[in-house]
Amino acid sequence: MAKFLLTATYTGGGLEGLTADGGTVRVEVVRALVENAGGRLEALYFSFGQYDTYVICDLPDAVTAAAVAIAVRAGGLVNARLIPLLTPEQVDAVVNLPVAYRQPGH
């Protein structure tokens, strides 16, 4: 499983739906979405900053994550972005991978 952060901003219509349903209903909708995709919802928080919601979840892979993001955005009431998250151990593995790269102009 891979861990992702989903940030979302509701459109006006999405906020109307949130107002009608309430927060706990939305959490269960998101939980069902993630679980139906083979994942696990770790946390969902509402906010009033740059984004309206922050979701942390595990999904099987990047393809599944893309399918979830497309499904959410296709509805037109939520602008969502899925961001892959790495553990410190994964970063350790990343920085030890040999990668050949030449800087522009060098």
Q: What is the pLDDT of residues 22-81, one digit of tens each?
A: 999 999 999 999 999 999 999 999 999 999 999 999 999 999 999 999 999 999 999 999
Neighbours of 61 (CB within 10 A): 12
Of 1, 4, 104, the residue nearest 56 (C-alpha)? 4
Q: In the prediction, which pLDDT does 9 show?
A: 96
CB neighbour list of residue 19: distance below 8 Å, 6 or more residues apart: none
- Distance CA(30)–CA(34), nearest Å, equals 6
Q: In the prediction, which pLDDT does 18 show?
A: 94
* Mean pLDDT estimate for the chain: 95
Angle formed at CA 44 by CA 43 and CA 49, multiple of 5 degrees: 130
- Distance CA(105)–CA(86), nearest Å, equals 31
Percentage of the chain beyond pLDDT 90 is 95
DSSP-derived secondary structure for 33-68: HHHHTT-EEEEEEE-SSS-SEEEEEEES-HHHHHHH
pLDDT at 106 over 90: no
Mean pLDDT of 3-23: 95
